[in-house]
Amino acid sequence: MKTIWVIARNTFIETIREKILYAIVGFSLLVIVASLLAGSVSLGQDVRVIQTFGLTAMTVFLLVITIFVGSHLLYKETEQKTIYLTLTKPVTRVWFYLGKFVGLSLVIGASALLMGLVYVILLWAKTGFVAPANYWAIGFTILEAWLVVAVGMMFGSFASPISSALYSFGLILIGHSTTTIHAIAQKSAPTIRYLLEGVYYAFPNLEKFNLRNEVVYAISPNPTQVITTLIYFVAFTALLLALGIAVFRKNEF
Amino acid sequence: MIFTDLKLRIVPLIVLIAWSVAYISQINYDAWRYYSPSVLNTSFNEFIEPQPLSPQNTRLISFGATEFAANIYWLQLIQYYGGGTPYGQYRKLPELFDTVTELSPNFQQAYITGLIILPGEGFVDQALSLGEKGQKNLPDSWEMPYYTGLVYHIYKKDYAQAGAKFNQAATFAGAPAITKLFAGIYFKEADQRKKAYLIFQTVVATSEDQYIIARAEKQLAHLDGIFTLESAVAKYRQQFSVYPKNLNQLVTSNIIKKIPVSPFGVKYTYNPKTGRIGDD
Q: Residues B62-75: pLDDT tens digits?
A: 888 999 999 999 99
**How far, in Å, CA of B273 to CA of B229, rounded?**
15
Say yes or no to pLDDT of B151 above 60. Answer: yes
pTM exceeding 0.90: no
Residues with Cβ within 8 Å of residue B228, at least 6 apart in sequence:
B256, B260
Closest alpha carbon within chain A to B69: A52
pLDDT tens sequence across B264-274: 888 888 988 88
Interchain contact, A44 vs B109, CB within 8 Å: yes
The answer, for A53 touching chain B at a CB cutoff of 8 Å, is yes
**How far, in Å, CA of B175 to CA of B182, rounded?**
12
Which ipTM score applies to this complex? 0.84
pLDDT at B210: 84
**How far, in Å, CA of A147 to CA of A241, rounded?**
10
Neighbours of A194 (CB within 10 A): 12
Closest by Cβ to A177, choosing from B60, B71, B78: B60
Are the C-beta atoms of B83 and B45 separated by less than 8 Å?
A: yes
The answer, for A59 touching chain B at a CB cutoff of 8 Å, is yes
DSSP state of B73: H
Mean of pLDDT values over A149-164: 90
Least confident of A50-59, A230-239, B207-216: B207-216
Question: In chain A, which residues have their Cβ closer than 8 Å to the Cβ of B64?
Answer: 176, 206-207, 210, 212-213
**A and B: number of Cβ contacts within 8 A:** 64
Amino acid at B262: S
Question: In chain A, which residues have their Cβ closer than 8 Å to the Cβ of B79?
Answer: 41
Average of per-residue pLDDT values in chain A: 89
Residues with Cβ within 8 Å of residue A6, at least 6 apart in sequence:
A99
Are the C-beta atoms of A137 and A214 separated by less than 8 Å?
A: yes
Interchain contact, A216 vs B67, CB within 8 Å: yes
Give φ, ψ of A43 to 5 degrees: 55, 55
